[in-house]
Amino acid sequence: MTSSFHPLAVLDTPSAIVDVARMQRNIGRMQSRMNALGKRLRPHVKTTKCTPVVRAQIAAGAQGITVSTLKEAEQFFADGVTDIVYAVGMAGHRLPQALSLRRRGCDLKIITDSVTSARQIAEFGRAHDEAFEVWIEIDTDGHRSGIRPDGADLLEVGRLLHEGGMRLGGVLTHAGSSYELDTPEALAALAEQERAGCVQAAERLRAAGLPCPVVSVGSTPTALSAQVLDGVTEVRAGVYVFFDLVMHNIGVCGIDELALSVLTTVIGHQPERGWAIVDAGWMAMSRDRGTQKQKRDWGYGQVCSVDGTVLPGYVLHSANQEHGILAREEGADADIAARFPIGTRLRILPNHACATGAQFPEYHALDPDGSVRAWSRFHGW
């Protein structure tokens, strides 16, 4: 298992590797699906936080982006992206930063799911002569944040914003509970629940004489499982650009579609335990063990050769801060030291691409011709 000739042999380890060909196929797959459904795709860029990746998504047809931090909004706006949704409930102390972005020409949309927050936004906007565009977050699956589609607060929030001089831009939802499913039937049912609930909220606002031009839904599993999207104007999805083992367990991608991996080096052995020790611990892979509750637990990741070939049966069994323990899933490997000599380069496919990517300041993009480029990644809030 020599890797001296491979372009990744010269990189320091651990490093985050992006398979550019796989990434481009993933981008094309999602964009083609949204094109066929006639819906705008607004990718959630929190997965990659990387300008070259976002440029590839926009080049394929994406319209606007979704961010999870105002730092992302600042960085992508500086790189020329203006149509941005900040899809985290707006906290009052962040309103000055949002105002600054809008004053500089960023078409920033913010969200709320409470009367208190809506009132704060309206009061701040009026005090600074700014009509923020605000979307109301809708809870369509009881997973996290949002107002229920039939909730009494929906119309009150809408009126506070509209009558308070803000632009009521629409409604937004995210079916995060899709991560708990693993059959096409269940995913399709949740996608319809997500669509129907968000459309119901929009129709209630409109019936009350309030504007609601945008109906925004999405998660990677529901975006890839929706049969119809009547009444929806746009779809948001993020992790599809890289995919990961959680998405593979859910059933929306093959393992050969995972575009992010962590390059690591074998640094030692515990032969009596059947272990090889690598220099990618949880500081490289992250603490995310999202596959633990799924039908297959991949430990801290699936082990691959340096060229990306899956090595069946071998996983990153456990991890300390800077040490990873590579082992067979079932039964010890008495030949572990011979199979993975010290110095061997390997790649680990992660449980959660967003969490693993966040461990690194940059990606190393591996092109089909074998060349490697460094892509910076944003950090901070």
Burial 178-204 (b: 16+ CB within 10 A, else e): bbebbeeebbbebbbbbbbbbbbbbeb
**How far apart are alpha carbons 64 and 54 in whole angstroms?**
10
Instruction: Check pLDDT > 70 for residue 224.
Output: yes
Q: Which CATH number fits the domain 44-237, given the four candidates 3.10.50.40, 3.20.20.10, 3.10.180.10, 3.40.50.300? A: 3.20.20.10
Same fold, 7-16+253-376 and 44-237: no
Q: Are 260 and 17 spatial neighbours (Cβ–Cβ below 8 Å)?
A: yes
pLDDT band at 332 (very low <50, low <70, confident <90, very high): confident
**How far apart are alpha carbons 339 and 188 in whole angstroms?**
43
Give Cα 198 distance to the centre of its chain: 21
Comparison of pLDDT for 98 and 5, the residue scoring more: 98
Vertex 150 angle, CA 144 and 151, to 5°: 65
Of 158, 167, 66, 67, nearest to 113 by C-alpha is 158
311-323 per-position pLDDT tens digit: 999 999 999 999 9
Indicate the domain borders of the chain: 7-16+253-376, 44-237
233-288 per-position pLDDT tens digit: 999 999 999 999 999 999 999 999 999 999 999 999 999 999 999 999 999 999 99
**How far apart are alpha carbons 121 and 137 in whole angstroms?**
14
Residues 6+ apart with CB under 8 A from 196: 140
Residues 6+ apart with CB under 8 A from 120: 90, 92, 95
Q: Give me the pLDDT at residue 1, please.
A: 43
In whole numbers, what is the pLDDT of the chain averaged over residues?
97
pLDDT band at 3 (very low <50, low <70, confident <90, very high): very low
Q: Are 297 and 260 spatial neighbours (Cβ–Cβ below 8 Å)?
A: no
Q: Give me the pLDDT at residue 6, please.
A: 86
* CATH T-level fold of 7-16+253-376: Lyase, Ornithine Decarboxylase; Chain A, domain 1 (2.40.37)
Q: Give me the pLDDT at residue 348, please.
A: 98
Q: Give me the pLDDT at residue 289, please.
A: 96
